[in-house]
Amino acid sequence: MNDFAGRIAVVTGGGTGMGRELVRQLVAEGCNVAMCDVSASAMAETQLLCEAQRLPQGLRLTSHLADVSDAAQVERFRDEVEERQQTDRIHLLFNNAGIGGGGSMIANSREEWERTFNICWGGVYLCTRTFLPMMLRADAAHIVNTSSVNGFWASVGPRVSHTAYCAAKFAVKGFTEALMTDLRLHAPHIKCSVVMPGHIGTSIVANSRKIHSGTDSDSLSAAEIAQARQRAAAGGLEVTSMSDADIQNMVLERARQFLEDAPTTAADAATIILNGVKAGRWRILVGHDAHRIDELVRQSPEQAYELDFFEAFAGEVGWRLGTPTAPKPASPAS
């Protein structure tokens, strides 16, 4: 599919980050879009940004509150898409919604681990299954599943546990690769791609913390401060002399760095993804860091989880992820 004009796309997690940029760029190309998210205010912001760039005449952009890890909510989302987009078919499905967290089988709760896994993997599975009949009815369709470099390299460095996210992203990659053959055999008009971004500048760190803690606040609860302290200590940071305010600042600083110090912006990532779909590519690496880690893991798989391997890679591409963040001094008021 090399032209999105007049098509109908479903984008999960359209409220912020890469999802928002996908929605904006699809709309700019004249594609009708139905987005879902767990944040109504974030979707309202995406909608406003799209309207500010002027929606093409008659284009339908609809927002739907739905948690992709909940089968009943995904089915309701599908029903709403049929009604509000006035269609029984869609052409593009971007399974983009995802969160981090639940890194450790030991230090994190089962609930947190499964929340990350069920959104990052379960969401892709449920949305694919639920929207498949609408793609079977279309003349052409494309499923775009967002995995990560963590879909082929299960690490952000040897100082950080990352099990739930990596397990989910490997599942997304394996599922999408197997789906290629399944679609060729049973529905050859549907294609699929797996997207593997490196570090992209988004608010995923801050958003994930809020989703896990069930709050919209930037202030950490006592339990979150204790957990962040434990995680920093496990990563080799000296935390005994740090106050709770220092820990809070460290967490905010890490989220800020993730958003602002990334080698690739969310807008550039969305362009790379959409160009990859138009070019019919099934594997879409996003960012020079993603291309480089792909090469390195193939070159020396046995070394991939060693400190030397990580430090050489991080140094080469300028990654600061996976390295303990020294806290910024707490403000005098705190």
Binding site for ligand NAD (CB under 6 A): 12-13, 15-19, 36-39, 42, 67-69, 96-99, 119-120, 123, 146, 148, 197, 199-200, 202-204, 207, 211, 266
Residue (18 or 179) nearer to ligand NAD, CB: 18
Q: Are 11 and 270 in contact (CB under 8 A)?
A: no
Crossing angle between the packed helical segments 244-260 and 222-234, to the nearest 10 degrees:
70
Q: Is 11 helix (H, G, I), strand (E, B) or coil?
A: strand
In the complex, the smallest distance separating the C-beta of residue 198 from ligand NAD, rounded to whole angstroms, is 7
In the complex, the smallest distance separating the C-beta of residue 24 from ligand NAD, rounded to whole angstroms, is 13
In the complex, the smallest distance separating the C-beta of residue 14 from ligand NAD, rounded to whole angstroms, is 7
In the complex, the smallest distance separating the C-beta of residue 319 from ligand NAD, rounded to whole angstroms, is 11
Which of 34, 26, 137, 145 lies closest to 96 in space, CA to CA? Answer: 145
- 104, with CB counted inside 10 A (0-12, 13-18, 19+), is middle
In the complex, the smallest distance separating the C-beta of residue 243 from ligand NAD, rounded to whole angstroms, is 28
Residue (93 or 242) nearer to ligand NAD, CB: 93
Residue (211 or 232) nearer to ligand NAD, CB: 211
Beta-strand (E) ranges in 101-241? 141-146, 190-197, 200-201
Q: Name residue 141's beta-bridge partners.
A: 190
12: which residues sit within 8 A by CB, 6+ positions away? Answer: 19, 35, 36, 37, 68, 94, 95, 96, 97, 123, 127
In the complex, the smallest distance separating the C-beta of residue 43 from ligand NAD, rounded to whole angstroms, is 8
Residue (242 or 270) nearer to ligand NAD, CB: 270
Cα–Cα distance, 175 to 186 (Å, whole number): 16
Residue (138 or 168) nearer to ligand NAD, CB: 168
Residue (195 or 304) nearer to ligand NAD, CB: 195
